[in-house]
Amino acid sequence: MASSKSFQNAFKTNRGSACSNKQGSLCAAKASVDETAALTVAASPTKFDARSSSDTGGFVLTSPVGDQGSCYSCTAFAVAGAAEAAVSAALRKTAVGRNWSVQDLHFCLATNSGESKSCRSSASSLIDVLKPFTAATRALVLDKCLPYEAPDAPLDQDLCDYKCKDTDPDAVGKFEYVQLNSPWEVQEHLRNWGGVVTRLDIYDDLRPFFAKNPKGSYNGPAPNATFIEGHAVLLVGYDNTRNAYLIKNSWGTDFGDGGFAWISYAAGEKVGIGARADTYGLRFRPANPPPLPFVYTTAALTDCLNLTVPDGMWPSTVAQLLRVPLRKLLIDNLETITDLEKPLDPKKPLIACGVPQAIVTRLMPVGGRPAAASASPAAGLSPPATPAPAPKGDAAAAAAADAAAGEDCQANEPEPIRNLRLVSASTDGNIKLTWDPPSGPECINFYDIQVMDIASGKITKAKITGLNPTSKVAGSFTFKGSPGQQYQFTVSAINEAGGSAERSITLGGAAGARRLRQHRRSLLAARQRAFGFRRRQGPLAAAK
């Protein structure tokens, strides 16, 4: 946060010097991951609330607060809320009336693969809910078709007795989940998709705190507080002034401030909020993407547009919606963007260069209509996307040329890399890895690599740049390590639309292997405690 604030001050004083392609600038093309993070925070709002239409661009991204009762279904409530928010964000619609059946997700979705669940069934991790949800070939039914129940019997019957099979007509598309590894990624995902699922360890002083201070910020357990149970919640906002996350809980509206509560960043480190192993975001790719809220005219430069942005929008949001690098957007608009601590001025048009053709078709030309308007698809997940009407004349030729060059593949996040494997390991500690590129059509601008020394916990970061985005050449990386040590290598593919899910491999000596096994056992135990498996003092959900 400190580097972001320093950049904001420097940008206000001398924009050209602060934001340039020169090495050391946060706007440089070869900026590090940490520098890119600082730039994103600097060009984003200091607070965000998915319940506020003024923060989201005119629509509410939070669906109604639920009540899990005595069932161990907190993970299903959190994931369903994230999915409702992601659909609403992708389609730029309100989520107030969006109410999917948590009963369907928790009790019934897994039964399609032969697994039976009861009220006492629980997930050992969020992945246990995210994977079947994103892999499902059908959408969740609406709550009216299968209302949520929390029966007392440990073995419950007829929990999937559907009254109807109606689904949300907006839920036509593809869900995918992504692990979020840092606070800035959590905040970015909240702004873009409206919700983040994470862990919250419950201590016996949490409920009393919010009973007395429903609008206060919980700063973590007192030294003499007793751990009760783990829990899953949905993050729906943040505030870098009060240094806290806003959570949407599943204990009904009597908890906290109408079912919502603030957890301080400092407390989050103690109770699991934002923990890398248990923090995920959901993305939704609609079959028929809606028009974007920009009006444009073609600029004098070949691949640039003059854009008018709506009131209240920030540079980071514009860059994300247009699928252009934030640094490039800032450099191209140094005369227009003068203060990163305020939203953009709608009276001052921006220049946007290199916008993928797939995004241009969703923009509004001056005096016209977008080429790809939103449709009203039928319910379900299976229908394919309807292609946008083809542009006419010179525009058609340009679009065809863009597609042939592979430029449009920057519009979607890449699939994960494949076959991460060891090539060689020398006695002096050199380790060489290689991997196959993602199988999807999305271009790759660079690979982001993180190496963790298992023994010490030290992390080394690297970036492989200079790639031909349209090529499908295998990647490789050589690391100078210490003989006998064990390292965990994590690789993700990045393009202008964002990053792929990570792939990891652990390599090294016997001493490191023992430490890694100990680390994995402790991590597994923490996850089991966190999500209701191997409980210490009874079910968390029962203590309403």
pLDDT per position as a tens digit, 199-218: 999 999 999 999 999 999 99
Q: What percent of the chain has pLDDT over 90?
A: 40
Does the pLDDT value for residue 509 go beyond 70? no
43 phi, psi to nearest 5 deg: -100, 20
- Which segment of 106-110, 403-407, 448-452 scores lowest on mean pLDDT? 403-407
pLDDT (average), residues 431-458: 80
Q: In residues, how long is the chain?
A: 544
pLDDT computed for residue 381 by the predictor = 36
Average pLDDT over residues 412-436: 76
**Tens-digit pLDDT profile for residues 462-502:** 888 767 766 666 788 888 888 878 888 888 888 766 666 66
pLDDT at 11: 94
**Of the candidate ranges 119-123, 417-421, 478-482, 492-496, the one whose mean pLDDT is the lowest:** 119-123
Give yes or no for residue 380 having a pLDDT over 80.
no
Which of 70-84, 133-147, 503-517 has the lowest average pLDDT? 503-517
Paired residues of 229 in beta bridges: 202
pTM listed for this prediction = 0.71
Residue 136 has pLDDT above 60, yes or no: yes
Q: Render pLDDT for 321-350 as a digit per residue (tens, 0 to 9).
A: 998 999 999 999 999 999 999 999 999 999
Q: Say how far residue 467 (Cα) sits from the centre of its chain.
A: 25
pLDDT digits (tens, 9 = 90+) for 226-266: 999 899 999 999 999 999 999 999 999 999 999 999 999 99
CB-based contacts of 26-29 (< 8 A; 24+ apart in sequence): 26/327, 27/327, 27/330, 27/331, 28/327, 29/327
Assess whether pLDDT exceeds 90 at residue 283.
Answer: yes
pLDDT value for 121: 66
Helix (H, G, I), strand (E, B) or coil at 352: strand
pLDDT at 317 over 90: yes
Domains recognised in the chain with CATH numbers = 1-42 (no CATH), 46-286 (3.90.70.10), 295-383+390-408 (no CATH), 418-530 (2.60.40.10)
Q: In whole angstroms, what is the distance from residue 27 CA to residue 168 CA?
A: 41
When mean pLDDT is compared over 150-164, 281-295, 362-376, 418-432, the highest value belongs to 281-295
3-state secondary structure of 169: coil
Binning pLDDT at 50, 70 and 90, where does residue 543 land?
Answer: very low
Is residue 101 within 8 Å of residue 117, measured between CB atoms? no
* Gap between the Cα atoms of 82 and 62, Å rounded: 9
pLDDT for residue 512: 42
> Taking residues 420-434, what's their average pLDDT?
77
Residue range 358-364: average pLDDT? 85
Residue 459 has pLDDT above 90, yes or no: no
- What is the residue-averaged pLDDT of the chain? 80
∠ CA 494-495-496, rounded to 5°? 135
- Under a CB-based contact definition with an 8 Å cutoff, are residues 388 and 375 in contact? no
Report the pLDDT value the prediction gives residue 541, as an integer from 0 to 100: 39
Q: Is the model's pLDDT at 72 over the cut of 90?
A: no
Q: What would the mean pLDDT of 32-55 be, rounded to a whole number? A: 92
Mean pLDDT along residues 505-532? 54
Q: What is the pLDDT of residue 159?
A: 81
Q: Which residue has the higher pLDDT, 220 or 374?
A: 220
Has residue 57 got a pLDDT over 80? yes
Q: What is the mean pLDDT of residues 83-110?
A: 88
pLDDT value at residue 115: 59
Q: Please give the share of the chain, as a percent, with pLDDT higher than 70.
A: 76
Calculate the dihedral angle through the C-alpha atoms of 289, 294, 300, 302, rounding to the nearest 10 degrees.
Answer: -20
> Cα dist. 420→205, 488, 490, 495 in Å?
45, 12, 9, 19
Q: What is the pLDDT of residue 440?
A: 67
What is the token pair recorded at 42? 């600097």
- In this prediction, residues 510-528 reach a mean pLDDT of 50
